[in-house]
Chains A and B, each alone.
Chain A
Amino acid sequence: MVSLAQVNWTKLLDIRTGMHIVALVVMGLPLLLGLSAAVGKATKKRLSAQAAMLLRKGIFYIGTLIIVLTILHQLEFKMGALLGAAGIVGIAVGFASQTSVSNIISGLFLISERPFEVGDLIRVGDTTGTVMSIDLMSVKLKTFDNQFVRLPNETLIKTQVNNLTHFPIRRLDVHVGVAYKEDVAKVKRILAEIGSENPFCLDEPEPIILLQNFGDSALEFLFAVWSTKADYLQLKKTIRQEIKERFDAERVEIPFPHRTLYTGLATEPFPIRIVSSGTTLPAVNGRPSKSRKTGN
């Protein structure tokens, strides 16, 4: 087995070796950090944010490994024994950490397939957030309410991922119901005007205004408008309010289900009719019934 006993610790007492090791640690690590930052900065414009981040991390991890191996070499550590042991340990660890390995392999697929990049807005199940980083084991998201969410790569490979900002423009579908008495042409005209007047709505692709369905209590319209992905939230915030305001101004009725509740003494009692004793009431379940006293 490989153990720390195989390291020649007495070498540390050798001033020259000790100086080498200290120099490697004290100068090597800051240099490595500086190099990875400089490469990240230089490639910022040429590469995507995700690729630049991977390059930065790759330089740092490979550089750190080289420094560690150099230090071990200085301490006369037998590398052959380490590599042999690494193979045996690798098999054992592989069996013991299947989930982690699965995440790593899934991470490689995610990096090569690139369904999303750092900075994209994605939805996975009930979670929607901006991608902060794509690492070998997991993807980190920041949600709109500023929560940090870690999603294992395996989950992302198995489930549906919606990338909301992959394309430069998005469509917002607004379902609008109006009363059956309303003029369809008038409703279409008003919706078209709302689309053309909203500053976040694109003129082209043109808004889609469609009488989609004859609902239970309303004519159901689809009003689909386009915006850039940057303006999508603003469009979503404004368009429904504008529809309500314009419909109110133009006296277009938006029907909604009515429900009346009677709660105790604050309201009038149900109307009841008192009938004289012995009167036969209409049949209930096929049998005539006697009069009943009712009241609140």
Chain B
Amino acid sequence: MDIWTKQTIQAERAYKSQLGPLKLWLKKTSDELHMATDRGSEGCVSPCHGFTQTSDPSPESLDWGRWVIDRDDSYVQLVPTMPDRGVVVRTESPVKIPPSREAVFFVSIPTWIKICAGGSKLSDLWEVPSVIRSNTWFGDTLSGELCYSLVSRARRQVEDADHPLHKAVCPVKICNESGHMLNVDRFCVHVEHLSVYGGVRLLWTNKVTIRFQGEDQISKLDYARQKPDLESQVKLLSPPRIPFKETLLKRSLGSFARLTDF
């Protein structure tokens, strides 16, 4: 996917990139980079592409930002990263998992786009969400944490889904290790602990495993450290924002148990 590779830009030219509903505009002056965003509807079906030179007049009505760079800097790169806080995934229709069964769900998580620029070494300049998600609260009203809300079809087969390039596929395995039927209508994924990998045709994250052990037990949560194995060739594009730690795991489990009544 050459969309995420380093690209050369020239001074006094305008460039445009489309990533789902997000349109990124870029102009380079002698020692400054001017960037702006524009958004269409979420269901926008325009094909995704990296920065391409455009003769379209760049809209002056947008809120342009300016970044100081070196005169010789002539490279930019788009890097997909995970959102900066957890995502609460609500399934369109609840799924029931019988005791001692497990199921893998493929969730498409809209990435954030990091724009890097520089010469031989690139530095991070800006980060924007490809899709703006609404906020939701994870946990009870006394404690808990702020997350993004995502309604997902929670598909069982990755081939079923039409995954656009600005979304990363997160495989979530839910194992019902209790003796009761498990009703899955929502679950939280702490995406800030996930890396983004580029495959031949899709973006991937590490696999997440949730083990439900009973209503009065805390569910176990695990973020795989190895690359996803659903595509033969995957390359690390961005590391996790927050490295996974045991203490964070414990907190996630508590919140997960409260929210899902597991």
Q: Name A's B-contacting residues (CB within 8 A).
A: 167-169, 196, 199-205, 226, 228, 231
Residues of B within 8 A of A196 (CB): 134
* Contact B143–A168 (Cβ < 8 Å): yes
Q: Name B's A-contacting residues (CB within 8 A).
A: 88, 132, 134-138, 141-144, 146, 149
* Contact A202–B141 (Cβ < 8 Å): no
* Contact A202–B137 (Cβ < 8 Å): yes
Nearest Cβ on chain A to B161's Cβ, whole angstroms: 22
* Contact A169–B137 (Cβ < 8 Å): yes
* Closest A residue by C-beta to B132: A199
* Contact A169–B149 (Cβ < 8 Å): no
Nearest Cβ on chain A to B129's Cβ, whole angstroms: 12
Nearest Cβ on chain A to B40's Cβ, whole angstroms: 16
- A-B pairs with beta carbons under 8 Å apart, 18 shown: A167-B141, A167-B142, A168-B137, A168-B143, A169-B144, A199-B132, A202-B134, A202-B137, A203-B149, A204-B88, A204-B149, A205-B137, A205-B141, A226-B137, A228-B135, A228-B137, A228-B146, A231-B135
* Closest B residue by C-beta to A166: B142
Residues of A within 8 A of B136 (CB): 202-204
Nearest Cβ on chain A to B37's Cβ, whole angstroms: 15
* Closest B residue by C-beta to A227: B135
Residues of B within 8 A of A204 (CB): 88, 136-138, 149
Besides the contacts A200-B135, A203-B136, A204-B138, what 7 more A-B pairs have beta carbons closer than 8 Å?
A167-B141, A167-B142, A168-B141, A168-B143, A169-B141, A199-B135, A231-B135
* Contact B135–A202 (Cβ < 8 Å): yes
Q: How far is the CA of A276 from the CA of B4 in the complex (A)?
A: 97
Nearest Cβ on chain A to B110's Cβ, whole angstroms: 15
Nearest Cβ on chain A to B13's Cβ, whole angstroms: 34
Q: Which of A168, A204, A226 has the most CB of B within 10 A?
A: A204
Nearest Cβ on chain B to A277's Cβ, whole angstroms: 76
Q: How far is the CA of A168 from the CA of B88 in the complex (A)?
A: 18
Residues of A within 8 A of B142 (CB): 167
Residues of A within 8 A of B137 (CB): 168-169, 202, 204-205, 226, 228
Residues of A within 8 A of B88 (CB): 204
Q: How far is the CA of A87 from the CA of B136 in the complex (A)?
A: 60
Residues of B within 8 A of A199 (CB): 132, 134-135
Q: How far is the CA of A289 from the CA of B135 in the complex (A)?
A: 73
* Contact A168–B144 (Cβ < 8 Å): yes
Residues of A within 8 A of B143 (CB): 168
Nearest Cβ on chain B to A157's Cβ, whole angstroms: 25
* Closest B residue by C-beta to A200: B135
Q: How far is the CA of A205 from the CA of B132 in the complex (A)?
A: 19
4 residue pairs, one from A and one from B, having the closest CB atoms: A203-B136, A203-B149, A204-B136, A202-B137
Nearest Cβ on chain B to A193's Cβ, whole angstroms: 12
Q: How far is the CA of A205 from the CA of B88 in the complex (A)?
A: 12
Residues of B within 8 A of A169 (CB): 137, 141, 144
Q: How far is the CA of A22 from the CA of B136 in the complex (A)?
A: 61
Q: Which of B134, B138, B142 has the most CB of A within 10 A?
A: B134
Residues of B within 8 A of A202 (CB): 134-137
Residues of A within 8 A of B141 (CB): 167-169, 205
* Contact B134–A203 (Cβ < 8 Å): yes
Nearest Cβ on chain A to B219's Cβ, whole angstroms: 19
Q: How far is the CA of A168 from the CA of B149 in the complex (A)?
A: 17
Q: How far is the CA of A117 from the CA of B255 in the complex (A)?
A: 25
Q: How far is the CA of A196 from the CA of B134 in the complex (A)?
A: 8
Q: How far is the CA of A203 from the CA of B259 in the complex (A)?
A: 14
